[in-house]
Amino acid sequence: MIIDRIEVQDINSFSRLEFLKQAYGILWILFPVFTPVLGITMGILVIVWLEREISAGLQQRIGPEYAGPLGVLQALADGAKLLFKESLFPSRGDTRLFSIGPSIVVISSLVSYLVVPFSSRFVLSDLNIGVFLWIAISSIAPIGLLMSGYGSNNKYSFLGGLRAVAQSISYEIPLTLCVLSISLRAIR
């Protein structure tokens, strides 16, 4: 079999594409992470749009119609408005507690994803006590809610923070009991 120079050059050009295999491997790992995130984001946008359209129909008023076709981009416009909104701090409150509280809530929510296995090959931390660590980390969020309410130095904001903590705890206790009962059943 005779191979001419052009075929050899073609074969060599394919062997130089090793970096594509590495890029493909990275994309294969990140795909299970970004697919649910993209699906959830699109689902939230649709739900917000439907809620606004249904509320406008029930209240006999015009719904969102100016941001994009049929008001589809209204949720994105609201998100951009919220992102660029001015941060206000209470004048007589504790600004450190007021600003650290939301950070604690967000960080505890994001850190709880450390123990979630996204696929069989993509696990951030493989722990034997992953479920218990998830429960412990997610239980820190009510502290941030309480800190924000207390840091405002306003009795109504503090009562609102207490109410948010009570709602969060009343949600977490049954969730924890359900998860722990399934974990105890799975140990056997």
Q: What is the pLDDT of residues 118-141, one digit of tens each?
A: 777 777 777 777 788 888 888 888
Span of 18-22, 37-41, 91-95 with lowest mean pLDDT: 18-22
**Residue of 179, 169, 177, 120 whose CA lies nearest to 142:** 169
Average pLDDT score, the chain: 78
Tell me, yes or no, whether 76 and 92 share the same domain: no
The residue out of 60, 85, 110 marking a domain boundary is 85
CA distances from 128 to 125, 131, 133 (A): 10, 8, 10
Domain that holds residue 93: 86-188
The residue out of 85, 110, 145 marking a domain boundary is 85
Number of domains present in the structure of the chain:
2
What does the pLDDT look like over 12-33, one tens digit per residue? 555 556 666 666 666 677 777 7
The residue out of 26, 60, 85 marking a domain boundary is 85
- pLDDT of 124 reads 74
DSSP calls for 99-126: HHHHHHHHHHHHHGGGG-B-SSS-BS--
In the chain, beta strands by DSSP E: none
